[in-house]
Structure 1
Amino acid sequence: MAQALVEDSGHDTLGQSVGWTSPDYFNEQECLSSMERVFDVCATCRLCLSQCNTFPSLFDLIDESEDSELGSVPKSRYLDLADQCHLCDQCHVGHCPYSAPHPQQIDFPATMLRAKAIKFAKGSIGHASAAGRHHPFSHLAGVPVVAALANTVVGSSAARKLIERSTGIDAQAWLPKLAKQTFLAQERALILAHPTQAPVVADHSLVPRQVAIYAGCYINLHEPEIGQDLIQVLQHNDIECVIANLEGCCGQAKLTKGDISGFAAVARANIPSLLALAESGYAIVSPSPSCARIFTHKLPALFPADTDIQRVKDAFWAPTEYLVALHGEGALRIDFVNTLGKVNYHEPFLGGAHLGIARHTETLLGLVPDTKVNVVKGSPGFGSHWGNQREDYPVAIKLGQRVFRQMAEPADYLTTDCQLTGRQIAWGIEILDLVQTSDKKPELAHPLTLLRMAYGL
């Protein structure tokens, strides 16, 4: 079992007195009363001011009200605050002094999710909340000619203005390129559809020597090279490696917009395949922390009594967590042939706190000779696809400036476990012209890519 998940198993991002399947969960007046209680505590604390735009928006409503008190803010304004929350859970897991076991038991993300669900049920979600993909043409990935054409179109400023009008995605926002061939297509030989016989697990170890990779949509459709880097690193360490044959994406976009039932259906469709792998002794490893936390926290919180979901949760590992665990058993090769120099590393917001990733990635990269890892914490402004919409983009850039500046300090590489966030940070550095050394621009590379490079693979 992944140790980070054991340590964090007490955090429940859906901790409500009313379950999401109950009709009372969608009682707007009860939700508003719950929000008022939470907001009243937040208004006196304000520790999470820099976490995301939800908090500045809330505090502005209070400070600009008639007597600068929460009681003067119309409750009709409460629900719209949920549009600013991208459910990263950082406020709850890493910062809130009033979360359980404190008597107040504040769970801000759970409160926001309930508000999102009510807005979705009413059909009143905003443009930003409705956007669900990393890219408006994600469905075209994997078709070489079409993907190349789409990449050219997205690179055109005139086309971006048209895309902004039709989708709401800001014309200046960074968008990923489409892969000409998806990760699953490139590595189809490793896809394990029906694991029926338990593989041999070394008797002396607690860490499985077999890994099933859950790629996630971003790696599969946009940067399959990162998935291939993971395969190379695992195979270099004599780890049997297969790829999970899944029914679809993790459903994060549906959860973010408040479609809880839709999210549950999409995410649960993957459980039979993942369960078969878990029961066959595979460690399930995902290079996408935002996807991993769906199966380690979000879905288990919705279905705490579902033993299949809990079994899948126990089988998940973050890639660097898995490799550090191998090192703890003396099974990780440290025959590095290249150094990395100075690496500016950002602790991922989506999934980072839940999975305890930062300490594992810092430890792993620190094994490479002559490598110094500078850990940067804080909000990158963007939250998956939140921040790309024209009404949110300027706010995302403003919120992320502190992280952008710290990541722009002289270094050989920039890295973070969530590659999408890494791209957004690099974009923020570029448009704000924050690079401090004109002769050498730090290169963005995923931690798995850096490890593959250090091995000389």
Structure 2
Amino acid sequence: MSEGGLNAPVRHPIDWNDPDFYDWDKLNAEVERVFDICHGCRRCFNLCDSFPRLFDLIDESASGELDSVDKADYKPVVDACTLCDMCFMVSCPYVPPHEFNIDFPHLMLRYRAAERKSGKVDRRLDQLTRTDRNGKLAEFAAPVCNWASSTANKVTRPIMEQTVGIHREAELPEFHGKTFALRAMEAPVEPNPQAPAKGRKVALYATCFVNYNNPGIGEAARAVLARNGVETEVVYPACCGMPQLEQGNIEEVAESAKKVSQELGRWIDEGYDIVALTPSCALMLKFEWPLILPDHEGVKRLSEATYDVTEYVVDIAKKEGLAEGLTPLDGGVALHMACHARAQNVGAKAAEMLRLVPEADVKVVERCSGHGGSWGVLKENFETAIKVGRPAARLAAQAGKHYVASECPLAGQHILQGIERLKMDNKPQVDRSYHPIELFAKAYGLGD
């Protein structure tokens, strides 16, 4: 029996069009095989709540082995997986090309897809993850939506908890009445003709979160790129489908991939690089879509042309050099490395970018925030999400920096909630979390 591989992880295409993918007997046999290997290893015990649930399930069974665990009890383990990919990318010694061929996140995805195929759909999450629909509706009533969703609203939040299952204390992202795509259309940004990177062209994939919930991230990215001579256009055909992937809705993700890759392909034809503004969306374009549609040339081409925004700034710095004008960020930065940024396997680009700022003072936090997308806001999960994210919150607080940042805006917001709950002296008073590109813009004197 092999004790682990030394080769780089390799992911296999997701065979979601094969009827065997949804066959419960074959699925349960594979789940049992993988769970038994995980039980014998336990290296991932502290990554998320899936593994403690699995190990407790086995330890508390009649035999203390998987053979005495009811298959019906597998579901809580599956439900706790947030598809962060950290077990696959960071911890598991048995990922392919190892003979054990373990891909825990994609096995959890397969289980959820089979549930969906069987008609078992969580209607709360199904509605919560309709980001484009929800964003377009909220665009017309953003102040009312933000008032109703505020944790300070002691009338509407308990009602939301009872009706749609969102924990009353979970911070929710605000909506804006004017999307990032619309703002970009109304206020073009001219690139600096004297900058070293002049001639580069970027199509910014706005992402649903930046487009509807935090246009400031997009505006900061445009400003930084323009300062460095890069021409930018903002493109947003549709959501990348990560929220649907979390629910096992692979078919809908495939349709999003076809639609978005077709639109972004036109920009690639015109010599534009594609830059995604949040790491989850970059991960989808680069890695998940090609595994779902391995024979789709447009998807493959897009994956090869896509950068995460921090990755792209670092690329400019290495190849042409950055435009002058960066000034220190007083007080330093506690930088959380988002799981989906780490899963891109390009290195700690956000940290690398912020260390380009003069007198850089960056403390990197490499622990899970605990949020897990739509998972962490649910009534039954929120306290667990806070618990899982407590080490990250503690490290960010102990760093004692003026700024807290994360490439994942939801993770950053969740870490601040975790800091509020910490019982420690001299906690930093941080008003908000930042995307690293916002801090880079601030170092250039651009924006707020």
Equivalent position to 2:402, from 405, 409, 412: 412
Does 2:310 align with 1:320? yes
TM-aligned CA deviation for residue 350 of structure 1: 2.5
Does 2:61 align with 1:91? no
Contact kept? 2:86, 2:343, Cα under 8 Å: yes
Contact kept? 2:338, 2:411, Cα under 8 Å: yes
Which residue is equivalent to 1:64? 60
Between the aligned partners of 2:137 and 2:16, the Cα distance in structure 1 is 35
SS at match of 2:105: helix
Does 2:342 align with 1:367? no
TM-aligned CA deviation for residue 364 of structure 1: 1.5
TM-aligned CA deviation for residue 141 of structure 1: 3.2
Q: Output one character per residue of 1:158-189: Cα deviation in whole Å (capped at 9) or x when no partner.
A: 21000111110111111111112111111125
Query: Larger deviation: 429-438 or 346-355?
Result: 429-438
Between the aligned partners of 1:299 and 1:184, the Cα distance in structure 2 is 23
Contact kept? 2:160, 2:166, Cα under 8 Å: yes
Equivalent position to 2:146, from 151, 165, 169: 151
Which residue is equivalent to 1:200? none
Which residue is equivalent to 1:233? 224
Counterpart of 2:65, as a letter, is: E
Which residue is equivalent to 2:192? none
Equivalent position to 1:243, from 211, 234, 241: 234
Contact kept? 2:283, 2:343, Cα under 8 Å: no
TM-aligned CA deviation for residue 445 of structure 1: 1.8
Distance 1:252 1:98, change over 3 A: same
Which residue is equivalent to 2:174? 177
> Which of the pair has the greater relative contact order for Cα pairs under 8 Å at 6+ separation?
1
**Structure 2 unaligned blocks of 5 or more:** 1-6, 189-195
Equivalent position to 2:271, from 258, 276, 281: 281
Equivalent position to 1:42, from 35, 38, 42: 38
Counterpart of 1:213, as a letter, is: L
Contact kept? 2:176, 2:212, Cα under 8 Å: yes
Contact kept? 2:47, 2:86, Cα under 8 Å: yes
Which residue is equivalent to 1:456? 445
Contact kept? 1:213, 1:286, Cα under 8 Å: yes
Query: Larger deviation: 269-278 or 333-342?
Result: 333-342
Between the aligned partners of 2:376 and 2:133, the Cα distance in structure 1 is 15
Which residue is equivalent to 2:10? 11
**Structure 1 unaligned blocks of 5 or more:** 1-7, 192-203
Between the aligned partners of 1:190 and 1:30, the Cα distance in structure 2 is 55
Between the aligned partners of 2:13 and 2:17, the Cα distance in structure 1 is 13
Equivalent position to 2:48, from 40, 47, 52: 52
Between the aligned partners of 2:424 and 2:248, the Cα distance in structure 1 is 36
Which residue is equivalent to 1:212? 203
Which residue is equivalent to 1:271? 261
Counterpart of 2:74, as a letter, is: Y
Does 2:296 align with 1:306? yes
Contact kept? 1:429, 1:435, Cα under 8 Å: no
Which residue is equivalent to 1:349? 339
SS at match of 2:375: coil
Distance 1:129 1:356, change over 3 A: farther
TM-aligned CA deviation for residue 432 of structure 1: 3.5
Distance 1:44 1:128, change over 3 A: farther
Counterpart of 1:167, as a letter, is: V
Between the aligned partners of 2:105 and 2:417, the Cα distance in structure 1 is 27
Q: Output one character per residue of 1:337-371: Cα deviation in whole Å (capped at 9) or x when no partner.
A: 3434321111101243224352x221211111122
Counterpart of 2:261, as a letter, is: I
Between the aligned partners of 1:99 and 1:301, the Cα distance in structure 2 is 16
Contact kept? 1:344, 1:373, Cα under 8 Å: yes
SS at match of 2:243: helix
Distance 1:363 1:349, change over 3 A: same
Query: Larger deviation: 160-169 or 52-61?
Result: 52-61
Identity of aligned residues (%): 33
Which residue is equivalent to 1:294? 284
Counterpart of 2:31, as a letter, is: M
Contact kept? 2:207, 2:236, Cα under 8 Å: no
Counterpart of 2:178, as a letter, is: Q
Does 2:373 align with 1:384? yes
Distance 1:211 1:434, change over 3 A: farther
Count how many residue pairs are aligned between Structure 1 and Structure 2. 429
Distance 1:189 1:138, change over 3 A: closer
TM-aligned CA deviation for residue 125 of structure 1: 3.4
Contact kept? 1:379, 1:400, Cα under 8 Å: yes
Which residue is equivalent to 1:3? none
Alignment of 1:413-428 (within 5 A): 413-428=403-418
Q: Output one character per residue of 1:98-153: Cα deviation in whole Å (capped at 9) or x when no partner.
A: 1122221111112111101111111223466544257995443322xx21112112
Distance 1:87 1:135, change over 3 A: same
Counterpart of 1:11, as a letter, is: V
Counterpart of 2:202, as a letter, is: V
Between the aligned partners of 1:93 and 1:367, the Cα distance in structure 2 is 27
TM-aligned CA deviation for residue 47 of structure 1: 1.1
TM-score, with length taken from structure 1: 0.88
Contact kept? 1:417, 1:447, Cα under 8 Å: yes
Q: Output one character per residue of 1:358-398: Cα deviation in whole Å (capped at 9) or x when no partner.
A: 2x221211111122111111111111111111111111111
Q: Output one character per residue of 1:60-102: Cα deviation in whole Å (capped at 9) or x when no partner.
A: 1101111111111012222443221121111101110111222
SS at match of 1:269: helix
Between the aligned partners of 2:425 and 2:270, the Cα distance in structure 1 is 48
TM-aligned CA deviation for residue 9 of structure 1: 9.4
SS at match of 2:332: strand
Does 2:111 align with 1:111? no
Between the aligned partners of 1:43 and 1:69, the Cα distance in structure 2 is 8
Q: RMSD in angstroms over aligned alpha carbons?
A: 2.4
Between the aligned partners of 2:423 and 2:269, the Cα distance in structure 1 is 50
Between the aligned partners of 1:180 and 1:49, the Cα distance in structure 2 is 43
Query: Larger deviation: 303-312 or 125-134?
Result: 125-134
Q: Output one character per residue of 1:309-328: Cα deviation in whole Å (capped at 9) or x when no partner.
A: 11000110111111111111
Between the aligned partners of 1:351 and 1:119, the Cα distance in structure 2 is 28
Between the aligned partners of 1:395 and 1:37, the Cα distance in structure 2 is 27
Distance 1:434 1:446, change over 3 A: farther
Contact kept? 1:318, 1:357, Cα under 8 Å: no
Between the aligned partners of 1:347 and 1:451, the Cα distance in structure 2 is 16
TM-aligned CA deviation for residue 272 of structure 1: 0.9
